[in-house]
Amino acid sequence: MSTPDVVVLDHGSGNVRSAVRALEHVGARVELTADRSRVLAADGLLVPGVGNFHACIAAMESVDAAAIIDTRLAGGRPVLGICVGMQVLFDGSDEPSAATHDGLAQWPGRVERLDAPVVPHMGWSTVRPPEGSVLFDGLAEERFYFVHSYAVRRWDMPLADGAMARVAPLVTWARHGEDFIAAVENGPLTATQFHPEKSGDAGLHLLQNWVTSL
């Protein structure tokens, strides 16, 4: 099997070197860039994100990330969002900011503050993947590393009726005070609220599953 090319989108939001190293560790050929031609040509695109939702969206706008992601998905080209890189795929966020921005609206829903005794949620938590998950294959009962105060707390994506109905996305849940979405697998678009690159062997296994699927 040939070595897959993966681009980590360099939009200037957060330290992404750990993601680059983790992907290299599981056998991908990795480039950190925002060059449009390289991003579109890669077998896989990883979209990182840390910190404030609105600041992350602003940084992504500077490299035309929304159009790049749309173009990849229109061609069935895989995209993986991580942490705030997952949150920005939804409609928007209630996180405070001096300048607010809409999300990329790939999925319906808003990012809301967790209703929990202790926020942020910082540490290791188990997740509940659905049957048939490719991302979590071989990872039953494993824990992953989370650092966040906001999350998507409900899934509301109606499917069309009839023979041409879309396949329902696979949604993985976790709990911190309340249930929230920990990951989504939706055709070529996949995302995790946790940081697989900081989740030890379990996180590397998950990234290996994604890279293998490319």
Active-site choice (54, 83, 142, 185): 83
Cβ–Cβ under 8 Å, residues 181 and 191: no
Structure tokens, 56:
């992350």
Active-site choice (54, 56, 197, 205): 197
Cβ–Cβ under 8 Å, residues 114 and 178: yes
83 an active-site residue?
A: yes
Question: CB 158: neighbour CB atoms within 10 A?
Answer: 8
56 an active-site residue?
A: no
Q: Distance (Å, rounded) from C-alpha 22 to C-alpha 42? A: 17
Q: Are strands 170-176 and 178-186 parallel, antiparallel or unpaired?
A: antiparallel
54 an active-site residue?
A: no
Active-site choice (54, 121, 148, 195): 195
Q: Where in the sequence numbering do the catalytic residues fall?
A: 83, 195, 197
